[in-house]
Amino acid sequence: MKKSILFFLVAFLTFSGATFGKSKENVEVLYFKAKQCACKTMTCNAIEDQVKSLIDKEFQDENIVFKRVWLKEKENDALIQKYSAKPQTVVLVKKKRDKETITDLAEIVKDFAMKQNKEKFETELKVKISESLK
């Protein structure tokens, strides 16, 4: 009986210590979008769809959040200023404890918007997100 109590106590303390030591971290992918006719085009929608699809398909088990941020909404002014956002801006933000690591994905998005190379876009985006999870 003492052995089983001791076993459960050790198991509990081990599990508690393992989860307590882990830091809270998450990754946000912010897509800044304008509410204009130009941003209802296939390119703007394709960027948003591709980013969301990749996160859902490749990173469903990870703590990644996709957020569309409308540029014209006042409640988003702080985010817009913080990331110097304009239409079609995609920013990867890793939050770990009180530290943020920001990765601007402008070049990847610009290349996709011009060339519409879906495979290249997905590959490069997947690499950037994977790097942020390390």
Of 14 and 108, more confident: 108
Buried b vs exposed e over 60-93: b needs ≥16 C-beta within 10 Å? Answer: eeeebebeebebeeeebeebbeebebeebbbbbb
What is the pTM (predicted TM-score) of this model? 0.74
More confident call, 105 vs 17: 105
CATH tag for 24-132 (out of 3.30.1050, 1.10.1060, 3.40.30, 3.40.50)? 3.40.30
pLDDT recorded at residue 8: 46
Tens of pLDDT, residue by residue over 7-55, are 444 444 444 444 444 445 689 999 999 876 655 567 788 889 999 999 9
Burial class (CB in 10 A: 0-12, 13-18, 19+), 3: exposed
